[in-house]
Amino acid sequence: MLVKEPLPISLIRVPAKRMKTLVADKVTTLAEDILENGQQTPIRVRENGAEYVLIEGLHRLEALKALGEQTVDTYKVRARLH
């Protein structure tokens, strides 16, 4: 079962490949929604030593950064070994 946990945004690393999918208009829309309703859906991250790597929720993360938030609600997931 996934447990929602707040984490400092500064500890979350976004892979360069994932950043290429960023759409600025979507970030703005999400930021406005978060201002009105708060963060409804946690992002997903995986642990990588002392930091975390973003798995899902790039636009939500960037919207929270744009709003000046210091923390983000997350679900920690385990990476599958192939």
Give 4-58 pLDDT, tens digit per residue: 999 999 999 999 999 999 999 999 999 999 999 999 999 999 999 899 999 999 9
Cα(69)–Cα(77) distance, integer angstroms = 22
pTM of the model: 0.91
Confidence of residue 75 (pLDDT cuts 50, 70, 90): very high
- Strands 51-56 and 43-48, how do they pair? antiparallel
From CA 4, how far away is CA 2, in angstroms rounded? Answer: 7
Residues 6+ apart with CB under 8 A from 42: 4, 57, 72, 73, 74, 75
CA 38 to chain centre: 14
